[in-house]
Chains A and B, each alone.
Chain A
Amino acid sequence: MAKRPLSSYVRHTVFGLLSFILCVLLFFLSLATVLSVTLFNSSDFLFDSMNSSNYFNDKADEITEDLTDLGYASGLKEEFFDGLINGVMLSNDTQNYLESYYNGEGTKIDTTEFKQTFNAALDKYIDENNIKVTSAASRDNLVNKAAAVYKNSLEIPFFSSLSSYFLAVKAALPFVIGGLIFFIAVICVVFFLANKWKHRAVKYIYYGVAGAFLTVGVIPTIILLSGVIAKINLESRALYNLFVQCGNGICLALVFVALFFLLVAIALYIQYRRMHRKVS
């Protein structure tokens, strides 16, 4: 049998490299798309995740516990704090916090409603227990400290410090996705135009897509199976559950994208075999 000509090796190498580049581009496209649909979409993803992970109930319990500790140093009994943290108030303040963040307005938490609620409860407590408040400054100090506890509890760690990077990535993502789609399309067109036998073009595209299936799917699968997300060291139970929920959700989304690539790869392979049989 005659040896393959050198040009054949060069051609296979060049197209092989293009397939590899296609694989890498598909990997980044998957990552960018999943992130743009989830974390970088709008505040809805995080807010919906909070609702489904029981975030607000856990957060209300945590804030109540922190305020009770403050109460021990302030002459307030534990019963004072029962029902003080209003779930609706917590939900509204959190939603406003997330919306202001995603709109580039910074991390704003308005404690006005909380202070009003706290002051009203304090006035009622003083009346019911006939307490004589000897220092208005101490009372004000308590209210401000309680508001600080509430505000600190609502804040998500690192949100503020990563704000500029987060918004920059959010703004750039649509362009990144557009650019990746463009280059992927160019590579596919090059495959078809540069190959006389079209089944070879399908083959090279298959290599890229099958590689993308493995590349996109392997790490999220390992993360989900190993349960490493559940081992994150967060002090807040509410934040912990939220993080686990979001992390697992994003990994699952990547796994589904990988499965989509698998289906496309299988379809391409079947198409390649069909076309190959016709020319054989």
Chain B
Amino acid sequence: MSDRKRRHKHKRYNGKSFIILPIIFLLGTYLVLYLAFMPTVTTIANAGGLIFANYEKDFSNEYKNIFVPVSENSTQPTVTRDEVDDNGNTVTKEYIDSSSIEFPGYGNQFGELIIEDCGINNKLFYGDDDVALRNGVGIYTGSHLPGYGSTILVAGHNNTYFNGLKNAEEGQIVTIRTSYGNYTYKINHTAVKKATDTTAYDLSADRENLIMYTCYPFDELGLTERRFFVYADYVSGPQVDTSVQEGD
């Protein structure tokens, strides 16, 4: 082959390979990485889904308030159920349709808790984290809401929103107002117990009752090991139909 033909042979290689091959290398490198880390890709992707959200983080301390006071003439959608009472008679009872209730999210204000005799009129939150207790009193999420027929456990700080509990006495009325109804409870006794005493409350009780607690002694400087419990029995307020939730 002559030198001219050999030199002409060099010119056959055009510029496309200078673009295409680097792109092929890009895809090839990521394919190699994917194959090398394939056993961990799903784990990493799942971890990423937990760590990263779909929106930028909001650091405001604002809480959501879903509480709308129930007016005197307002009515809630209800369902009726036939039940057997203690005497064996069939009675028809009316319950609030649970699907009509806006269930509060964690950290939402959804009501108010009032004890006039103790000078207490606080915002009521679902959840007892720092934001809730900074702004009012909060229901422990492992307990129940008013109207759900079991124990409602409410916490508050003894030096702020539950300072008035030091004046709590038997017979005083506690009112809880929510967007789906107003509830009243009557205090039956108070007790001082250790913070770790789990016999202080029964979260699986089958009758509606209210327990409020706070640190004890009141106005004490420092972190104490004791808690002041106020126990109240249900007096009035619409019951929520929970049977729909159990079946679904």
Inter-subunit contact A233/B53 (CB<8 Å):
yes
Name the CB-closest residue of B to A22: B25
Interface size on A, residues (CB 8 A): 53
Confirm or deny: A225 has a beta carbon within 8 angstroms of a beta carbon on chain B: no
The interface residues of chain A lying within 8 Å CB-to-CB of B1 are 2
Nearest Cβ distance between residue A187 and chain B, in whole angstroms? 14
Interface size on B, residues (CB 8 A): 42
Choose, from A71-79, A109-117, A159-167, A178-186, the stretch at the interface. A71-79
Inter-subunit contact A211/B52 (CB<8 Å):
no
Binary CB contact string for chain B from 48 to 92 against chain A (1 if under 8 A, 0 otherwise): 001111111101000000000000000000000000000000000
Inter-subunit contact B221/A279 (CB<8 Å):
no
The interface residues of chain B lying within 8 Å CB-to-CB of A75 are 159, 219-222
C-alpha gap A72/B25 in the complex (Å): 61
Nearest Cβ distance between residue A34 and chain B, in whole angstroms? 16
The interface residues of chain A lying within 8 Å CB-to-CB of B217 are 134
Confirm or deny: A214 has a beta carbon within 8 angstroms of a beta carbon on chain B: yes
Q: A24-B29, A233-B52 are known contacts. Are A72 and B222 too (CB-CB below 8 A)?
A: no
The interface residues of chain B lying within 8 Å CB-to-CB of A19 are 21, 25
Inter-subunit contact B221/A131 (CB<8 Å):
yes
Nearest Cβ distance between residue A210 and chain B, in whole angstroms? 4
Inter-subunit contact A215/B10 (CB<8 Å):
no
Nearest Cβ distance between residue B35 and chain A, in whole angstroms? 12
C-alpha gap A133/B17 in the complex (Å): 83
Name the CB-closest residue of B to A76: B221
Inter-subunit contact A234/B220 (CB<8 Å):
no
Contact among B52, B59, B221 for A74, CB-based, below 8 A: B221
Contact among A73, A207, A213 for B223, CB-based, below 8 A: A73
C-alpha gap A137/B18 in the complex (Å): 76
Confirm or deny: A7 has a beta carbon within 8 angstroms of a beta carbon on chain B: no
Confirm or deny: B130 has a beta carbon within 8 angstroms of a beta carbon on chain A: yes
Confirm or deny: B16 has a beta carbon within 8 angstroms of a beta carbon on chain A: no
The interface residues of chain A lying within 8 Å CB-to-CB of B225 are 138, 141
Contact among A228, A233, A265, A269 for B57, CB-based, below 8 A: A233
Nearest Cβ distance between residue A239 and chain B, in whole angstroms? 10
The interface residues of chain A lying within 8 Å CB-to-CB of B222 are 74-75, 133, 135, 137-142
Name the CB-closest residue of A to B6: A279
Contact among A72, A207, A210 for B159, CB-based, below 8 A: A72
The interface residues of chain B lying within 8 Å CB-to-CB of A106 are none
Nearest Cβ distance between residue B192 and chain A, in whole angstroms? 14
Residue of B24, B25, B221 most packed against chain A (CB within 10 A): B25
C-alpha gap A72/B221 in the complex (Å): 10
Nearest Cβ distance between residue B95 and chain A, in whole angstroms? 38
Inter-subunit contact B157/A138 (CB<8 Å):
no
Inter-subunit contact B10/A232 (CB<8 Å):
no
Inter-subunit contact B25/A211 (CB<8 Å):
yes
Nearest Cβ distance between residue A261 and chain B, in whole angstroms? 10
The interface residues of chain A lying within 8 Å CB-to-CB of B56 are 227, 230-231
The interface residues of chain A lying within 8 Å CB-to-CB of B53 are 231-233
Contact among B59, B159, B221 for A139, CB-based, below 8 A: B221
Inter-subunit contact A231/B29 (CB<8 Å):
no
Confirm or deny: A194 has a beta carbon within 8 angstroms of a beta carbon on chain B: no
The interface residues of chain A lying within 8 Å CB-to-CB of B54 are 231
Confirm or deny: A218 has a beta carbon within 8 angstroms of a beta carbon on chain B: yes
Inter-subunit contact A208/B25 (CB<8 Å):
yes
Inter-subunit contact A138/B224 (CB<8 Å):
yes
Interface residues of B in 180-233 (CB under 8 A from A): 215, 217, 219-225
Nearest Cβ distance between residue B20 and chain A, in whole angstroms? 10
Nearest Cβ distance between residue A53 and chain B, in whole angstroms? 14
Interface residues of A in 1-32 (CB under 8 A from B): 2, 16, 19-20, 23-24, 27
Q: A73-B157, A142-B222, A269-B18 are known contacts. Are A232 and B52 too (CB-CB below 8 A)?
A: yes
Confirm or deny: B133 has a beta carbon within 8 angstroms of a beta carbon on chain A: yes
Inter-subunit contact A73/B130 (CB<8 Å):
no
The interface residues of chain B lying within 8 Å CB-to-CB of A37 are none
Nearest Cβ distance between residue A92 and chain B, in whole angstroms? 26
Q: A214-B26, A276-B10, A279-B10 are known contacts. Are A135 and B224 too (CB-CB below 8 A)?
A: yes
Inter-subunit contact A211/B21 (CB<8 Å):
yes
Inter-subunit contact B158/A73 (CB<8 Å):
yes
Confirm or deny: B28 has a beta carbon within 8 angstroms of a beta carbon on chain A: yes
Interface residues of A (CB under 8 A from B): 2, 16, 19-20, 23-24, 27, 66, 68-70, 72-76, 126, 131, 133-135, 137-142, 145, 197, 206-208, 210-215, 218, 227-228, 230-234, 237, 240, 265, 269, 276, 279-280
> 28 interchain pairs (CB within 8 A)?
A2-B1, A20-B28, A23-B28, A27-B29, A69-B133, A75-B159, A76-B221, A131-B221, A135-B220, A138-B222, A138-B224, A142-B221, A197-B10, A206-B18, A210-B21, A211-B21, A211-B29, A212-B25, A214-B22, A214-B23, A230-B56, A231-B56, A231-B57, A232-B52, A233-B50, A234-B57, A280-B8, A280-B11
